[in-house]
Amino acid sequence: MQLAPDRATVDPAAIEALLPQQGQIEQMTTEDLRQALDVSRRLSAKILTVAAMVWRELERRGEDMTPYLEDIAYRRVRDIAGGKLAPEAVMKFGTRTRLLDRIANLPPAEQKKLAEGERVTVVERDPETKKLDERKLPVESLEKSQLNLLFAPSGEMRTPDQQRAVLTATPLKHPEADKPRGRVFIARGKLRTDGEVEVQAVIAALREKGFLPPLGK
């Protein structure tokens, strides 16, 4: 298939023409600047999508793409091409490698929703009352401990009930405690602990692993 003459090559000047130049920016209205910012973002996502299509075609032709993988930008293109990453997620979270690596375990459709602003539900323990409460937060605002709670080791996002089970199974810190509390481990259908644990912690661990129905069921 022969490309149309005007699309046989990529002209960077044609892309730049869609965006304001430095000397023009100061003269633009605020609304025009907002529109230009939006165009820049959409163009960037589109360029990533096209780059992924090119990557797939080069691989189909048997080209060695290994040299490109030294560049993290190309590694992201590879992941988009392989259906692992949504280009919108790369645009939104690309500078936060660890966060993007967690999000990459979700289906691309879910990644896109998070990139577009959909909030996640995080369960937190009130430091005063010890009560567990749910909060809706942007995923990019979460601290490391919240991300560890939200994302299971399998890569999936935990439901609020699953988060509650994890928090319930995590021993509370009591200043007056004279010995460390144990943890519960379940693997291959067997349960073990590394010390003295409360019954509620065992129940929560069993619930998280699916041996007991979720709370409220």
Pairwise CA distance, residues 216 & 214, whole Å: 6
What pLDDT is stored for residue 194 in this prediction?
Answer: 67
- Ranked by mean pLDDT, the top range of 17-26, 88-97, 195-204 is 88-97
Q: Is the confidence at residue 206, as pLDDT, over 60?
A: yes
Q: Is the confidence at residue 62, as pLDDT, over 70?
A: yes
What pLDDT is stored for residue 182 in this prediction?
Answer: 64
The residue with tokens 């044609």 is: 14
pLDDT in tens, 68-99: 999 989 999 999 999 999 999 999 998 888 89
Q: Is the confidence at residue 61, as pLDDT, over 70?
A: yes
pLDDT in tens, 161-176: 999 999 988 555 544 4
What pLDDT is stored for residue 14 in this prediction?
Answer: 65
pLDDT in tens, 101-132: 999 999 999 999 999 999 999 999 888 888 99
What pLDDT is stored for residue 160 in this prediction?
Answer: 94
pLDDT in tens, 131-156: 999 999 999 999 999 999 999 988 89
Question: For residues 28-67, b (16+ Cβ closer than 10 Å) or e, as one string?
Answer: eeeeeeeebeeeeeeeebeebbebbeebbeeeeeeeeeee
Pairwise CA distance, residues 136 & 89, whole Å: 19
Q: Is the confidence at residue 55, as pLDDT, over 80?
A: yes
Mean pLDDT of the chain: 82
Pairwise CA distance, residues 217 & 213, whole Å: 6
Residue 195 Ramachandran class (φ > 0 left, ψ -120 to 50 alpha, else beta)? left
